[in-house]
Amino acid sequence: MAQWQNIVGKPVDAAGFDDHVRQLCDWKWQPQFITLHNSAIPSLSQRPDGFTAQHIANLASYYQRLGWRAGPHLFIDDRQIWLFSPLTSPGRHSPSWNRVAVGVEMLGDYAREDFTSGRGAKVRALTISALTTLSRRLGLRADSLRLHKEDPATSHDCPGKNVDKAAIIADVARAMAI
Ligand SMILES: [Zn+2]
């Protein structure tokens, strides 16, 4: 429970996320890669204005009710990056990889919703910038990225098929080279 008092629950833009990550110190773990998720429920259409502070607080109580001491590190919608579980400690989002992977949750159901146009493209662009910032800070290669559904211990088809892993890796690699 105590760990939930540390929930960040704060929205930042891409530059604000870069500042936040730059200032982090006292890391209690060494992440080896980033795992990407989509929320599925809620979908983009269920959250026409993205996440609100209340939605984020509700997510925190939801995980708490499950008895989880942490959740994903970030929730990303089409407007902002929500800091959730502190990046300096392991989160909980993917059964095999919680101890080794940063968890990034994107708003949307990309089995059905578009990821390369409209609001989905905005989520994608913010996600690329967040992955770039994290990969630089943690010394990760862009191609170390894994999708939740690649975890052999999960049955979730997450994120949906419209999330093209190779295209994301290419965009992050390009951004990291700048
Ligand atoms: Zn997932």
Phi, psi (deg, nearest 5) at residue 63: -65, -35
Q: Which of 2-16, 94-108, 116-130 has the lowest mean pLDDT?
A: 2-16
Q: Residue 151 C-alpha to ligand 1 middle, in angstroms?
A: 10
**Residue with the two structure tokens 């968890």:** 103
Q: What superfamily would CATH give domain 2-177?
A: Peptidoglycan recognition protein-like (3.40.80.10)
CA–CA separation, 108 and 102 (whole Å):
19
- Expressed in angstroms and rounded, the spacing between residue 95 Cα and the centre of ligand 1 is 10
pLDDT per residue over 7-66, tens digit each?
Answer: 778 999 999 999 999 999 999 999 999 999 999 999 999 999 999 999 999 999 998 899
Instruction: Say how many Å lie between the CA of residue 39 and the centre of ligand 1.
Output: 7
CA of 159 to the centre of ligand 1 (A): 6
> How far does residue 72's CA lie from ligand 1's centre (Å)?
9
For residue 3, pLDDT beyond 90: no
| Mean per-residue pLDDT over the chain, rounded | 94
The pLDDT value given to residue 178: 86
Distance CA 147, CA 162 (A): 12
How far away, in angstroms, is 13 Cα from ligand 1 center? 23
Span from the CA of 103 to the centroid of ligand 1 (angstroms): 9
Residue 5 has what pLDDT? 53
Element (DSSP H or E) covering residue 153: none
Give CA separation, 65 vs 68, 124, 154, in Å.
7, 30, 21
pLDDT category, 88, cuts 50, 70, 90? very high
Measure 106 CA to ligand 1 centroid, in angstroms: 9
Structure tokens at 66: 């499950």
User: Which amino acid, residue 102?
Assistant: V
How many angstroms does the Cα of residue 174 sit away from the middle of ligand 1?
25
Dmax over Cα atoms in the chain, in whole Å? 43
Ligand 1 center from residue 27 Cα (angstroms): 24
pLDDT at 6: 64
106 with 39: CB under 8 angstroms? yes
Parallel, antiparallel or unpaired: strands 10-12 and 74-76:
unpaired
| Confidence label for 69 from pLDDT (cuts 50, 70 and 90) | confident
How far is ligand 1, taken at its centre, from the CA of residue 145, in Å?
A: 13
Q: Is residue 1 very low, low, confident or very high in pLDDT (cuts 50, 70, 90)?
A: very low
The Å distance, Cα 61 to ligand 1 centre, comes to 18
For 133-158, what is each residue's pLDDT tens digit?
999 999 999 999 999 999 999 999 99
pLDDT of residue 8: 76
Task: Supply the pTM of this predicted model.
Answer: 0.95
Q: Using the mean position of ligand 1's atoms as its centre, give its distance from the Cα of residue 113 in Å.
A: 16
